[in-house]
Amino acid sequence: MTTGFGKGCHLHLIDGSAFIFRAYHALPPLTRKSDGLPIGAVSGFCNMLQRYVDGDHGPDAPTHLAVIFDKGSHTFRNDMYDLYKANREAMPEDLRPQIPLTRQATEAFNIACKELEGYEADDIIATLACQARQAGGRVTIVSSDKDLMQLVGDGVEMLDAMKNKRIDREGVFEKFGVYPERVVDVQALAGDSVDNVPGAPGIGIKTAALLINEFGDLETLLDRAEEIKQPKRRETLIEKRDQIELSKRLVQLDCETPLDFTLDDLELRDPDPDKLMEFLAEMEFRTLTKRIADKLGVEPPVIADTPAPAADEPQAEDIPFDASKYECVRDAATLRKWIDQAYERGWLAVDTETTGLNEMIADLVGISLCIEPGAACYVPLTHRDGASDDLFGSDALAEGQMPLDEALQMLKPVLKDPSILKIGQNMKYDAKIFARYGVDVTPIDDTMLMSYAMHAGEHGHGMDTLSERYLGHTPIPIKPLLGSGKSAITFDKVPIDEATAYAAEDADITLRLWKLFKPQLHRAQVTTVYETLERPLVPVLAEMEMHGIKVDRDVLSRMSNAFAQKMAGLEAEIHELAGETFNVGSPAQLGEILFDKMSLEGGKKGKTGKYSTGADVLEDLATEHELPRRVLDWRQLSKLKSTYTDALQTHINPDSGRVHTSYAITGANTGRLASTDPNLQNIPVRTEEGRRIREAFIAEPGNVLVSLDYSQIELRILAHIADIPALKQAFADGLDIHAMTASEMFDVPLDEMTPEIRRKAKAINFGVIYGISGFGLARNLRIPRAEAQGFIDRYFERFPGIRRYMDDTIAFAKEHGYVQTLFGRKIHTTEINAKGPHAGFARRAAINAPIQGTAADVIRRAMVRMPEAIDGLPAKMLLQVHDELLFEVAEDAVEKTIEIARDVMENAPDPAVKLDVKLTVDAGKGANWAEAH
């Protein structure tokens, strides 16, 4: 007979949710072999439980133990404040089914497993901790959740199991600046963005602690708020009193939750080997089952090594592709039949055929649909009659097509019906085409983006690649249908029967890919990435691209003329200096002139046997000779003219007078966008002459361009990911980060910093992001390699976290074949285990990818939220340049737009990721892009 919980007893309370989330994020996406059930978090959870129970806790060993879970999402706090935890992101879809399994796991280990409807786990923990304390026992709360810190003291401590660090009263004081009994007061003032506790605006933990320590407690502070000297603070406290008091009630844990068990029920129990083995075997945890069986001295059960059985539906590849089965839809009744099938299923694969690749110009020619593998059709709409070749007949509509308007009127309701999922491959293209005909397409799924979320870095995501790779089928090529070169025709000239075979197949392939990919997203644990970072970007980018940016043709045209004149002058001088005429634009001819004819030093032949005449080579030669300098100047002008001032003019849309770029969502492996036709992400800015091209990018009368860009976002992310305290502090203090690095590296006080020393530090900071090498840094800084290596060694010495980050990242990549961003984006590193020079590239790319990719994720999140945030304002988001967003805004709404857009950008990681470093955004405005930037 037990004597009951009391003195000498030690209750350990594990925060179940914390264990689950840590397990989920720490482990690769494991699935149960027999049926593909996601199981990674359960596996991690079991390992953590087992390690905890078996761990050596010394004098803190538990006599009583329980794992406490949350139950349901609605608690009594929601009744007080309906926005409580309202901005929490939905649970990842592959985690949801694992939650009940973690309860089962806890019970299988014979550990008490407790939860209570309407209460958070924290309240149960609070109640138990109070009871245990009153009974004279000790308590260890296994969690690092700061909301629980109010419970610490008088025999209650917290344990951060990850860091194996115990937190006592002093630990709480370190975190909050007050002792546990005043923690809720500080929290009430500071609020909590994660849980959406409002608090007092503008007051953080530091200020809150200061105030509480001055006045003793929250009530006194609020009663005597008039005495506060700072006017803003004083007013906030007086005006927001209700909100602050509500916040206190929200963070105050309930010590009197109605529990239907007692402390004695939590007494530590040995597991029942049979039950535990049964559970572990059912989960198919081979290693863990064996390890625990050994420990318990029992025979491990046999876990069958069966592959996943075939899905109940026939596999996509079981149904052969057969073009003769595709239907050509020529009348409303037939189209209706297909639409009805979409309503039966709830989905519809869609593909458009048009007269060209430019969505702003191309006209709709036909639409293909697919419902199930093999069941696809093509609706020809504006095919031209190629049969009669006379001058007038060739433009006539071909026979046997539905009127375009009629077909669109029938399809319009389906395409915008929220209950019908529209499936496409590169849906941004089709959505833009449809938008020009007044048809919205939503909601969507996109197989290209699904592939990107799962396989970035492994292969491309075009339909041909995906079809061959995942369906084992080579699609009908478009080339023979359209021809090439001068005799190429547009799709409207393709005979309808051939068009049907081609177009319907595309929809068929898309649907088959979707059926294959959809369940795989969960298994690869990229559902959240796909649903928050890829798919929602489609309408946002489509909108930006269709809106375009106004470009002043005359400005460009005048610059082109000026450049042509200058180039002609330079060309004459170059020929004069060379003693002969040659094509200055030919690196091969220039190389021969420089290194053979003039016999200059430093001629190095590349792998194609030609001299290298890159800017760095010419720059070196320019100190001694005139010709290379002239060539450099000529090249700069040539570049500006051909790529920018000439080419941009051809991209001005005659209807809109604006330039409409196209963003490739899957263009860069890291998550960055890529801009094409034209590329508006590389408009010159670094030289004065080039920057003037930005003067041609203008706003409509009455509007201005507004540019907002993240300041040093990659270095901030590096500071967070690699956990570099000095770097974090420097950002927190708002220091010049390169100067600070220089000061740290070269022992130069900040007030004695020279531009030259700072420049070196800047190069090193960037080098780190790029996966630094002594050689690369030496070349960049034009210093001896040994010296560069010395810098790097010193950098690692001063910031040891960097080395650790690099080593850990490479090790992770080698083990898993990919690296991840903070938001879960995976970037595959296929060459990481290769031999030879490939490996070096792969390693540097692996180091860079999480940093560049996280920054890309951040701005993607900002972009996705932006339209709603600026809704109602006379402001449009026009362009994205990696860390910059450019807006066109009515003059009188500039300040408001900046305020809102900056807020969205700076808080873009919330609530998914809490960065240790604040993100800051610089803003500019002006009549043109040169002024705004």
| Residues in 667-726 that interact with DNA by CB under 7 A | 667-670, 672, 674-679, 681-687, 690-691
Shortest separation between residue 770's beta carbon and DNA, angstroms: 4
For DNA, the closer of residues 347 and 823 by Cβ is 823
* 49 binds DNA, rule: CB under 7 A: no
Burial class (CB in 10 A: 0-12, 13-18, 19+), 52: buried
* 465 binds DNA, rule: CB under 7 A: no
For DNA, the closer of residues 895 and 922 by Cβ is 922
* 643 binds DNA, rule: CB under 7 A: yes
Shortest separation between residue 531's beta carbon and DNA, angstroms: 22
For DNA, the closer of residues 327 and 646 by Cβ is 646
Shortest separation between residue 767's beta carbon and DNA, angstroms: 2
Query: Strand pairing partners for 828?
Result: 818
For DNA, the closer of residues 415 and 788 by Cβ is 788
Evaluate whether 675 touches 661 at the Cβ level (below 8 Å): yes
CA dist 177 and 185 (Å) reads 11
Query: What is the edge-to-edge ordering of all strands in the sheet holding 347-354?
Result: 327-328, 375-380, 364-372, 347-354, 421-424, 444-446
Of all helices (H) and strands (E), which one includes residue 408? Answer: helix 404-416
Tokens of 404: 């375009």
User: Given the rule CB under 7 A, which of 54-62, 329-337, 721-729, 771-779 is the region that contacts DNA?
Assistant: 771-779
Residue from the set 63, 207, 334, 773 that interacts with DNA by CB under 7 A: 773
* 17 binds DNA, rule: CB under 7 A: no
Shortest separation between residue 688's beta carbon and DNA, angstroms: 10
Task: With CA atoms as reference, report the closest residue to 23 among 195, 161, 167.
Answer: 161
# binding residues, DNA (CB under 7 A): 73
Q: Using CB under 7 A, which residues numbered 577 to 596 contact DNA?
A: 583, 585-589, 591
Cα 256 to Cα 73, 114, 129, 197, 259, distances in angstroms:
20, 15, 11, 22, 8
Shortest separation between residue 650's beta carbon and DNA, angstroms: 7
For DNA, the closer of residues 378 and 812 by Cβ is 812
Longest dimension (CA), the chain: 109
Site string for DNA, 527-566 (x = CB under 7 A): ----------------------------------------
CA dist 662 and 680 (Å) reads 9
Shortest separation between residue 711's beta carbon and DNA, angstroms: 11
CA dist 538 and 691 (Å) reads 30
Site string for DNA, 591-630 (x = CB under 7 A): x--------------xxx-x-xxxx--x------------
Q: Using CB under 7 A, which residues numbered 425 to 464 contact DNA?
A: none
For DNA, the closer of residues 257 and 669 by Cβ is 669
Q: Using CB under 7 A, which residues numbered 879 to 908 contact DNA?
A: 881-884
What distance lies between CA 503 and its chain's CA centroid? Answer: 33
Mention every residue, 6+ apart, whose C-beta is less than 8 A from residue 145. 15, 18, 122
Which amino acid makes up residue 206? Answer: K
Residue from the set 837, 868, 871, 892 that interacts with DNA by CB under 7 A: 837
Tokens of 260: 């239907």
Tokens of 229: 């000297």
For DNA, the closer of residues 261 and 775 by Cβ is 775
Q: What is the CA radius of gyration of the chain?
A: 33
Tokens of 184: 């809720």
Site string for DNA, 363-382 (x = CB under 7 A): --------------------
For DNA, the closer of residues 676 and 754 by Cβ is 676
Q: Other C-beta atoms within 10 Å of 67: how many?
A: 28
Alpha helix (H) residue ranges in 225-285: 231-239, 241-251, 273-283
Evaluate whether 505 touches 474 at the Cβ level (below 8 Å): no
For DNA, the closer of residues 74 and 779 by Cβ is 779
For DNA, the closer of residues 551 and 618 by Cβ is 618
For DNA, the closer of residues 238 and 615 by Cβ is 615
For DNA, the closer of residues 210 and 588 by Cβ is 588
For DNA, the closer of residues 50 and 613 by Cβ is 613
Q: Dihedral angle at the C-alpha atoms of 635, 640, 643, 648, nearest 10 degrees?
A: -170
Evaluate whether 23 touches 105 at the Cβ level (below 8 Å): no
Which amino acid makes up residue 642? Answer: S
Shortest separation between residue 617's beta carbon and DNA, angstroms: 7
For DNA, the closer of residues 474 and 676 by Cβ is 676
For DNA, the closer of residues 27 and 481 by Cβ is 481
Shortest separation between residue 660's beta carbon and DNA, angstroms: 12
For DNA, the closer of residues 511 and 617 by Cβ is 617
CA dist 646 and 263 (Å) reads 80
* φ and ψ at residue 803, rounded to 5 degrees: -55, -45
Q: Using CB under 7 A, which residues numbered 844 to 883 contact DNA?
A: 844-845, 848-849, 852, 881-883
Task: With CA atoms as reference, report the closest residue to 498 among 321, 320, 328.
Answer: 328
CA dist 105 and 771 (Å) reads 42
Residue from the set 632, 873, 900, 913 that interacts with DNA by CB under 7 A: 632
Q: Using CB under 7 A, which residues numbered 83 to 102 contact DNA?
A: none
Q: 3-state SS string over 422-466?
A: EEECCHHHHHHHHHHCCCCCCCEEEHHHHHHHHHCCCCCCCHHHH
Shortest separation between residue 358's beta carbon and DNA, angstroms: 11
DSSP letter at 109? Answer: T
CA dist 164 and 153 (Å) reads 18
Tokens of 549: 């940016």
Shortest separation between residue 866's beta carbon and DNA, angstroms: 17
DSSP letter at 530? Answer: I
Of all helices (H) and strands (E), which one includes residue 851? Answer: helix 837-869
* 485 binds DNA, rule: CB under 7 A: no
For DNA, the closer of residues 222 and 621 by Cβ is 621
CA dist 905 and 894 (Å) reads 16
For DNA, the closer of residues 323 and 685 by Cβ is 685
Shortest separation between residue 546's beta carbon and DNA, angstroms: 18
Mention every residue, 6+ apart, whose C-beta is less than 8 A from residue 866. 540, 877, 885, 901, 904
User: Given the rule CB under 7 A, which of 142-150, 225-233, 329-337, 837-845 is the region that contacts DNA?
Assistant: 837-845
Shortest separation between residue 760's beta carbon and DNA, angstroms: 10
Shortest separation between residue 614's beta carbon and DNA, angstroms: 4
* 229 binds DNA, rule: CB under 7 A: no
Site string for DNA, 783-822 (x = CB under 7 A): ----------------------------------------
* 346 binds DNA, rule: CB under 7 A: no
Shortest separation between residue 768's beta carbon and DNA, angstroms: 7
Shortest separation between residue 635's beta carbon and DNA, angstroms: 4
Shortest separation between residue 844's beta carbon and DNA, angstroms: 4
Check residue 889 and give left, alpha or beta (phi > 0: left; psi -120 to 50: alpha).
Answer: beta
Shortest separation between residue 694's beta carbon and DNA, angstroms: 9
* 198 binds DNA, rule: CB under 7 A: no
Q: Using CB under 7 A, which residues numbered 739 to 768 contact DNA?
A: 763-764, 766-767
* 480 binds DNA, rule: CB under 7 A: no
